[in-house]
Amino acid sequence: MRVLVTGGLGFIGSHTALMLLQKGYEVIILDNLSNSNPAVLGRINSQTGNKALFVKGDILDVALLKEVFREHEIHGVIHFAALKSVKESIEKPERYHLNNVVGTERLIRICAEQGIGRFIFSSSAAVYGSAASPVTENSGIGEIPNPYGRSKASCEDLLKTTHFQYKKPDITILRYFNVAGAHPDGILWEEAQPDGGNLMSHIIRVASEKTGKLYIYGGDYDTPDGTGIRDYIHVMDVARGHVLALEKQKEGVHTYNLGSGRGTSVLELIQTFQEVNGVDIRYEITGRRIGDISVSYADSTRALDELGWRAELDICDIVRDSWSHSEGGVDMSK
């Protein structure tokens, strides 16, 4: 089976592309390199005799998309390509709408016209807004406090509309929670993010630099230690979720949470990172950020029942693998 992986040189896409190759799939990666390093392709292709083909390009480029589908018989599409910074999305909402929503609209339209059978979409726990945890897929899309989350909810809507209109492709929407970790063999990891990235990236930076401190936004939430609680999920588990979703895709549109089902507070994450990796993290608790919610974790029962998926790696695996690629501060991506 030949699979087009958009955003396949990014963090989750690269781990998934490698897993697909190792399972014998033919993989075409389409990525505009807006948030990835071209060297990742070599690292993916160094691991297996089965090599991914790379097309440098943008999902907004309809002519290019049509050419890719004309030149290759593609059976399934895994669509990771998107901008993902909540902070940047608040500053530049139009950019997020164009890249994420219009990009997805163009891609799914062509997939429908080409009669592509399977389509898997990267959605996010952000679509639940402040719904009470554990959230199930039926929790409903809540009031979403940022343009990034709204772009994911809009994409979900237009995927459903397209399927309703064309009856193709069959669509699996995967709503991931907080993805972290890295390939345990040290081949792939999350690149440093232009906006400083997520909490794990900040922890790694503070631990690597051995100077400065980590700012924790909010110590007065209604949680046991006052800091926000999130559901951290290892990138290898998320990649495996995509392979299962592709293999078990059913007719219609189906939505699954990919989360561990366990909530970890910011202080617990820092504590675990220090214990597992033997490093110190200096931190200071400061005011809450607008738009942050206190608790978010998943009920992933549906993914277990229908895909046979559950998170196999835990928070200790996540902090160990996240830290080990950085080798105590030497960013191997440089």
Ligand X SMILES: NC(=O)c1ccc[n+]([C@@H]2O[C@H](COP(=O)([O-])OP(=O)(O)OC[C@H]3O[C@@H](n4cnc5c(N)ncnc54)[C@H](O)[C@@H]3O)[C@@H](O)[C@H]2O)c1
Binding residues vs ligand X (CB under 6 A): 6-7, 9-13, 31-36, 58-60, 80-84, 99, 103, 122, 124, 176, 178-179
Which residue number, 155 or 216, has a Cβ lying nearer to ligand X?
155
Which residue number, 25 or 80, has a Cβ lying nearer to ligand X?
80
Torsion of CA 26, 30, 36, 39, to 10 degrees: 50
The sign one gets for the Cα dihedral 314, 319, 322, 325 is: negative
Which residue number, 284 or 332, has a Cβ lying nearer to ligand X?
332
Q: How far apart are CA 147 and CA 90, in angstroms?
A: 6
Q: How far apart are CA 229 and CA 222, in angstroms?
A: 10
Name the closest residue to ligand X (Cβ): 10
The sign one gets for the Cα dihedral 152, 9, 67, 85 is: positive
Query: Whole-number minimum distance, CB 120 to ligand X, in Å?
Result: 11
Which residue number, 165 or 260, has a Cβ lying nearer to ligand X?
260
Query: Whole-number minimum distance, CB 211 to ligand X, in Å?
Result: 27
Query: Whole-number minimum distance, CB 122 to ligand X, in Å?
Result: 3
Residue closest to 263 by CA, chosen among 236, 225, 290: 225
Catalytic residue among 25, 96, 148, 176: 148
- Cβ neighbors of 168 (< 8 A, separation 6 or more) are 111, 112, 115, 116, 117
Distances (CA, A) of 184 to 22, 34, 189: 15, 25, 9
User: Is 148 marked active-site?
Assistant: yes
Query: Whole-number minimum distance, CB 192 to ligand X, in Å?
Result: 11
Which residue number, 80 or 280, has a Cβ lying nearer to ligand X?
80
Q: Which residue type sits at 188?
A: L
The answer to whether the CB of 52 falls within 8 A of the CB of 21 is yes
Q: How far apart are CA 320 and CA 181, in angstroms?
A: 8
Query: Whole-number minimum distance, CB 138 to ligand X, in Å?
Result: 19
Q: Which residues are catalytic?
A: 148
